[in-house]
Amino acid sequence: MDYFINKNLDSLITVEEHQVHAMCNNKPINYNKAEIFAQTQDIEPISPFSYSIMMWNTSTFLKEFEEKGFALFCGNFGVKNVGKLASIVLKTEQDLMIVDTFLKGMNLQKQKKLSYDPLVEEFL
């Protein structure tokens, strides 16, 4: 919460920074095809949203929603890099299988019994 207050933000979404060459609509985002191919450590990172945390200042959100009918990026908007583990997004069965495999691998290292919520069990 300190991050939200100290930056005077009205809205925030978490991201995971990737320092890789990226394209959107078949166009380079953070590199130039007419130049020598840059090393990844020399390019600007991209920051896709991870949505693990989303925050809004209530009064700013409600005011903008009343005016525009939407307010996701209301007022002073910012992002916070949360890293790989906190930014895992589960949308597909394959995503769930990857996370399940990862958790089972962690469990083997810790030698603890891994358990899931009953709702999740039906998908495994």
Whether residues 25 and 84 share a domain: the answer is yes
Say if CB 8 and CB 77 are below 8 A apart: no
Whether residues 36 and 94 share a domain: the answer is no
Whether residues 19 and 66 share a domain: the answer is yes
- Percentage of the chain surpassing pLDDT 70? 80
Stated as kind and residue range, the H or E segment containing 14 is strand 11-15
Whether residues 73 and 101 share a domain: the answer is no
Whether residues 56 and 31 share a domain: the answer is yes
Whether residues 63 and 107 share a domain: the answer is no
Stated as kind and residue range, the H or E segment containing 66 is helix 58-68
> CA-CA-CA-CA torsion for 52, 87, 72, 46, nearest 10 degrees?
160
Whether residues 38 and 97 share a domain: the answer is no
Domain, as residue range, for 105:
90-124
Query: Against a cut of 0.75, is the pTM above it?
Result: no
DSSP β-bridge partners for residue 40: none
Amino acid at residue number 112: K
The pLDDT tens digits of the residues spanning 10-51 come to 999 999 999 999 999 999 999 999 999 999 999 999 999 988
Tally of structural domains, the chain: 2
